[in-house]
């Protein structure tokens, strides 16, 4: 009887994990399909400097053909503790989708983060 209960618990855990994985993959694909062109246009129109005004790319970066494009939840560079849910930037840190386009080789990678909710972009050197 104990073996049957353990087997059922494992099957339930596998079912929940599979459904969660399928849901996350489908949401990721849908957000990427909906906002990739917006992210490319915003990254192309942005000056190729970081937040301090220092150039991050030599020449012009081609954001129309990124090597990777992915959707992240929240901006990890914002300093907001998870327990401060009344903080004005809490949604931007933990909830808002961000489309990240990455170009370059493995030694010099540049990423452009496009915040879907605000329409703002950030460049960062990886």
Give the pLDDT score at 6: 95
Stated pTM of the model: 0.74
User: 64, 44 in Cβ contact below 8 A?
Assistant: yes
Give the pLDDT score at 118: 86
pLDDT in tens, the chain (126 residues): 899 999 999 999 999 999 999 999 998 899 899 999 999 888 888 776 666 666 666 556 778 888 888 898 888 888 888 898 898 989 889 988 999 998 887 777 888 889 888 888 888 877
Number of Cβ within a 10 Å radius of residue 123: 20
Give the pLDDT score at 59: 56
């Amino acid at each position: 009887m104990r073996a049957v209960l353990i087997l059922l618990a494992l099957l339930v855990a596998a079912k929940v994990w599979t459904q969660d994985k399928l849901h996350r993959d489908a949401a990721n694909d849908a957000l990427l399909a909906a906002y990739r062109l917006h992210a490319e246009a915003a990254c192309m129109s942005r000056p190729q400097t970081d937040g301090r005004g220092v150039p991050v790319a030599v020449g012009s970066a081609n954001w129309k053909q990124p090597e990777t494009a992915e959707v992240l939840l929240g901006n990890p560079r914002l300093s907001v503790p998870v327990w401060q849910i009344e903080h004005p930037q809490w949604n931007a840190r933990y909830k808002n989708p961000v489309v990240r386009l990455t170009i370059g080789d493995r030694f010099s990678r540049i990423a452009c983060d496009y915040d879907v909710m605000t329409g703002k972009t950030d460049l960062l050197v990886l």
